[in-house]
Amino acid sequence: MDSKTLIMEDRQNCVCSQSDLVKIKAQDINFFYGKQQALKDINLDVLSNKVTAIIGPSGCGKSTFIRLFNRMHELVPNTTLTGRIYLDGQDILGACVDPAEIRRRIGMVFQKPNPFPKNIFENISYGLEVNGIKNKEFIEGRVIESLKKAALWDEVKDRLHDSALNLSGGQQQRLCIARCLAVKPEVLLFDEPCASLDPISTRKIEELILELKKDYAIVIVTHNMQQAARVSDYTGFFLLGELIEFDKTEKIFKAPKNQKTEDYITGRFG
């Protein structure tokens, strides 16, 4: 690395650390499926306009963790959660907070593309309709805007009324992202968004994430170390329900403090 980029980076770091806004703050999180503990004493901050990657071996609780942010864990019966999660300083786990409201503000894209068995247009307008928006022109405008943002517009503009299930896997995933964007969230959660996609679609999604970062706080769960290194600013390493290390992505990949992190990262690539 030459000195120029180093200086640039230094300055960037400096600027960031001053204006970094904590978007989501997870505090002392413990989570149980029945009696089995899935998350142990987790503290983690998600920053605005940054991509936070969550890595770790299968079954370590990554999905469980990010599903707390939009209260999806409430769909699973028999679970216990202690600790606090704040969105812009507001406790989102409170009994008087409407989970639907939280889910509008924190969008989620799942591992497997899961468009509704409806047409492309309806898939995206759905989120607006369930939130009580009736104005047709407004909906149409928002659908187009979301498709453009999700870099899907050019591919589907002539067949908005075709079934979404006829799209390719990568297109479906971008459709799911557009569906998310349509309700104007503030945070985007991606749970292994590229797990079922080919390299080209994966690259498109990654470019998209970097683009979306300008407007959103982003959390991405991934098994792909290179992906984490490519797209994220911060990385958290989970192991058996514990957050082993959380730091700037560079530090995690270049100079991890914890031996376990290093083992995991290097083990992956031999």
Ligand X SMILES: Nc1ncnc2c1ncn2[C@@H]1O[C@H](COP(=O)(O)OP(=O)(O)OP(=O)(O)O)[C@@H](O)[C@H]1O
| Chain contacts with another protein (rule: CB under 8 A) | 70, 72, 75, 77, 100-101, 103-104, 107-108, 110, 112, 114-118, 126-127, 129-131, 163-166, 176, 179-180, 182-183
Pick the binder of Mg ion from 29, 48, 51, 63 (CB under 5 A).
Answer: 63
Using CB atoms, what's the residue nearest to Mg ion? Answer: 63
Name the burial class of residue 97, with classes exposed (0-12), middle (13-18) and buried (19+) by CB atoms within 10 angstroms of its CB: middle
Distance CA 169, CA 148 (A): 18
In the complex with ligand X, the residue whose CB is nearer, 40 or 248, is 40
Beta strand pairing call for 106-109 and 187-191: parallel
User: From the CB of 177, what's the least distance to ligand X, in Å?
Assistant: 19
CB 262 → another protein: shortest distance, Å?
Answer: 35
3-class DSSP state of 158? coil
Give yes or no for residue 64 binding Mg ion (CB under 5 A): no
CB of 142 to another protein, least distance (A): 12
Alpha carbon distance 188, 216 (integer Å) = 7
Binding stretches for ligand X (CB under 6 A): 33, 38, 56, 58-64, 76
- Residue closer to Mg ion (CB basis): 54 or 164: 54
62 vs 71, which CB is nearer to ligand X? 62
Task: Choose the one of ligand X, another protein, Mg ion, none that binds residue 97, judging by a C-beta under 5 to 8 angstroms depending on kind.
Answer: none
| Residue 154, both tokens | 């050019």
**Could you please report the per-residue DSSP string of 177-222?**
HHHHHHT--SEEEEESTTTT--HHHHHHHHHHHHHHTTTSEEEEE-
Task: Give Rg (Cα) of the chain.
Answer: 19
Binding at 64: pick from Mg ion, ligand X, another protein, none (beta carbon under 5-8 Å per type): ligand X
**Least CB distance from residue 184 to ligand X, whole Å?**
27
Query: Which C-beta is closer to another protein: that of 94 or that of 132?
Result: 132
68, 18 Cβ separation under 8 angstroms: no
Residue 32's binding partner out of ligand X, Mg ion, another protein, none, with CB under 5 to 8 Å set by partner kind = none
Q: Which is nearer to ligand X, 76 or 100 (CB)?
A: 76
Using CB distances below 5 to 8 A depending on partner kind, what does residue 76 bind out of ligand X, another protein, Mg ion, none?
ligand X
Closest CA to 103 of 167, 185, 29, 42: 185
Which tokens hold the place of 44? 């983690």
H helical segments located in the chain: 3-19, 62-69, 99-105, 120-130, 136-149, 153-156, 169-182, 199-212, 225-231, 249-254, 259-269
